[in-house]
Amino acid sequence: MKMKRRHLWLIFITSLVIIVAIIVAISVSISSPKNIVLAPSSHSQTATPPKTSTTQNNTIAHIFIIMDENQPYPNIVGNSAAPYLNSLIQHYSLATNYHAVAHPSLPNYIALTSGSTDGLTTDCNPPSAGCEVNVPNIADSIENSGRTWKEYAESMPSACYAYNSGEYATKHSPFLYYTDIINNPTRCAAHVVPFTQLTTDLKSAQTTPDFAYITPNQCSDMHSCSIATGDSWLAQYVPIILSSPAFTSQNSLLVITWDEGNASTNHVATIFAGSAAKNGYQSAQYYTHYSLLHTIETLWGLAPLTNNDKQAPVMTEFIK
């Protein structure tokens, strides 16, 4: 009899525990919010990341290039005769392993603007001396993309002036050497202009060309005058460019480089400045004039002109 009572008691206790467990489960289910979807762990997300472009198309509003003359890298970087240039180096970006591609001057100007020296091996000038080249150039690419461009040449007597005059030398004005420009007087006069027009064009971002190629005269570019003279010229005009609406209200880039070094080296300094350039940055990556051309093409989504610029490493590491 006692065994039977004990058995019944165990059955009662077990049943009671089961009932309590069921009641608790039902209570938890009713009180818990429904339709909650937990976000997956950040380590297990499988969403496709946004696509990134291989170019920085349209991120740079204006690109300016100032080409100086015949000074190898050690003559500029750290030289007390060039205090303004070295202040730009400290504040902005410097390519410490940049090289011209030829000697003398003219082939480098043509290489930078067309992707090849195009068979030119001398400073043939003026262009009418039989050294024009019939090849596509960066001005064509820029113009065909709907952008604007100008070359500003210091001491040029008048727009599209294709003859030497005093300190003005045509061998430093590459766009006069392209047949599709020089043989089109209207196009040439609208785009290859005296340097004096720059300050007028800089008055608003709208009147500032998207691409500007600045050619100092043979004294201001350090070719015939001292480094100190060239540095003073830059100290006078670069602040005007950097403080213009195109550079203060838009993301814009100024590059200062040299056409070539000297007989022993073509290693030259190249400075990236302006609102688009990194601050206090240097790189020892090997670059050439073809790299600068390829960089312009990459920034604006333009097709490379030749295999030379197509294969040259781009310099976007200097861009913010």
Is 100 a residue whose pLDDT tops 50? yes
136-170: per-residue pLDDT in tens?
Answer: 999 999 999 999 999 999 999 999 999 999 999 99
Counting residues of the chain whose pLDDT is more than 90, the rounded percentage is 82
- More confident position, 24 or 311: 311
What average pLDDT score do residues 271-275 get?
98
Domain boundaries, the chain: 66-318
34-62: per-residue pLDDT in tens?
Answer: 332 223 222 222 222 223 233 444 589 99
Identify the weakest region by mean pLDDT among 28-37, 77-86, 168-177.
28-37
Reduce the secondary structure of the chain to three states and give it as a string.
Answer: CHHHHHHHHHHHHHHHHHHHHHHHHHHHHHHCCCCCCCCCCCCCCCCCCCCCCCCCCCCCCEEEEEEECCCCHHHHCCCCCCHHHHHHHHHCEEEEEEECCCCCHHHHHHHHHHCCCCCCCCCCCCHHHCCCECCCCHHHHHHHCCCCEEEEECCCCCCCCCCCECCECHHHCHHHHEHHHHCCHHHHHHHEEEHHHHHHHCCCCCCCCCEEEEECCCCCCCCCCCHHHHHHHHHHHHHHHHCCHHHHCCCEEEEEEECCCECCECEEEEEEECCCECCCEEECCCEEHHHHHHHHHHHCCCCCCCHHHHHCCCCHHHEC
pLDDT of residue 18: 53
Instruction: State which fold the 66-318 domain adopts.
Output: Alkaline Phosphatase, subunit A (3.40.720)
Is 270 a residue whose pLDDT tops 90? yes
Confidence of residue 7 (pLDDT cuts 50, 70, 90): very low
pLDDT of residue 74: 98
Confidence of residue 26 (pLDDT cuts 50, 70, 90): very low
